Amino acid sequence: MASFQQAFSSVVLVVLAVAILFVTPTFSTSRNAIMKDEKVQKATGFQVTLKHVDSGSNLTKFELLQRAMKRGRQRLNRLSAMALAESDHDVKSSVHPGNGEFLMQLSMGTPSTAYSAIMDTGSDLIWTQCKPCQQCFDQSTPIFDPRKSSSFSTLSCSSSLCEALPMSSCGTDGCEYLYTYGDYSTTQGVMAAETFTFGEVSVPKVAFGCGEDNEGSGFGQGAGLVGLGRGPLSLVSQLDEPKFSYCLTSIDDSSTSTLLMGSLANANNSDTASRTTPLVVNPSQPSFYYLSLEGITVGGTRLPIKKSTFALNSDGSGGIIIDSGTTLTYLEKSAFDLVKKEFTSQMKLPVDKSGTSGLDLCFTLPSDASDIEVPKLVFHFKGADVDLPGENYMIADSSVGLACLAMGSSSGMSIFGNVQQQNYLLLHDLQKETLSFIPTKCNQL
């Protein structure tokens, strides 16, 4: 297990600059950039640009966080409802979380058609809107027309990926699907295989849903969705080397984030600061990336959280997942209450009671503050102590006079959100069943 080095300070320094408080650790951490191997990239791996859904919106970091929080709370509710449905053995859920925070750029077909799709680590199916559309939502790029692609083919009803669908039927065009998301958005159409292009790398015969009837409010951000879950339908599971990693920049960073697939996924895993923890399998929700969280330290205090708090129960309820599509980290209420109490005790600032931020815990900043100290925050995953940089959990804005903890409470399922993941390369290895946290300057990839 990675040890928590007591020699490190229990606080980080928050430096005030412009209108935003930038949080800096009291000790330096290696942030190595990934070196590209062009030969390997062309053969077995590729890199994809990710763009935050609110990119270019001209909002402050605090405003961006508040907007993302609303989407994140809705996603949390959907994820929790799914887990509860599956814990009832009389119910067979075919509902998926949907939506997300990051768009990936890709193209498909021969000749290729470019579009952007939502990246979702909480579901499996890859799909996009297709002509002829019975019901399609507006998208900024042309809708894919399979009749104009020489590499398009439909999947047979006897194919293994057709059988892997939660809901399917056999029609005149082959395997037909219906995929439902937690906000009641749906996509329906025919399962097909097509050549997908990521940058300059083409991957043939990727199975996807060609959606001819797509309804609901959950997809307006992109022209479809790319599932990166653990199930057989996801993009990562369809690759010869089933691993991927992503590296998310800060929510207010104008730089794009990065997704690395296949052999490129672990290009930076020689970093001595890397921390690796096993993935946990939940038979009730096999697509989700569950982790084993054993404890949390605030400052120098290991919190008295019961061992069962983050445990995955035999009925499939509880546990903690890591999710790219949820912004904040949400902890089971009893654990969050302890985190909140300890931050309140250790922070040398008054608690804000106005409730204007929408966050559970905020502090009032001094009007003349140039910097503040915040307690360190360490998540003790099995085999991996992840010591977060201050900016990954304390969001401060001098223009509104607040510093807020980017976390909240949940009931049942807990989620390790994407604010806490920023500037880490998150390596998901589906063969080894592990997740690695690799400190990385994501805006330099």
Q: What are the residue numbers of the active site?
A: 120, 323
User: Read out DSSP for 346-397?
Assistant: H-SSPBP-S--S-SS-EEEPPTT-SEEEEE-EEEEETTEEEEE-GGGTEEEE
Do residues 16 and 369 make contact, with C-beta atoms less than 8 angstroms apart? yes
**Cβ neighbourhood burial of 35 (10 Å; 0-12, 13-18, 19+):** exposed
Q: Which two tokens stand for residue 275?
A: 């921390």
Which of 420, 363, 374 has the alpha carbon at shortest distance from 397? Answer: 363
Query: Which tokens is 388 given?
Result: 């977060």
Q: Tell me the sheet residues that pair with 119.
A: 226
**Chain centroid to CA 235:** 15
Burial of 393 (C-beta count, 10 Å sphere; 0-12/13-18/19+)? buried
Please report which helix (H) or strand (E) contains residue 224, including its range. Answer: strand 224-227
245, two tokens:
């990693």
How many CB atoms neighbour CB 370 within 10 A?
11
Distance CA 62, CA 20 (A): 9
Query: Tokens for 317?
Result: 């309820």
Give the angle subtended at the CA of 68 by the CAs of 351 and 252, to the nearest 5°. 85
Which residue bears the tokens 């993941």?
421
Under 8 Å CB-to-CB from 385, ≥6 apart: which residues? Answer: 1, 2, 3, 4, 275, 378, 379
Rg (CA), the chain: 22
Q: How is residue 182 written in tokens?
A: 């937690």
Beta-carbon contacts of residue 72 (< 8 Å; ≥ 6 apart)? 101, 325, 326, 327, 328, 417
Q: Which amino acid is at 63?
A: E
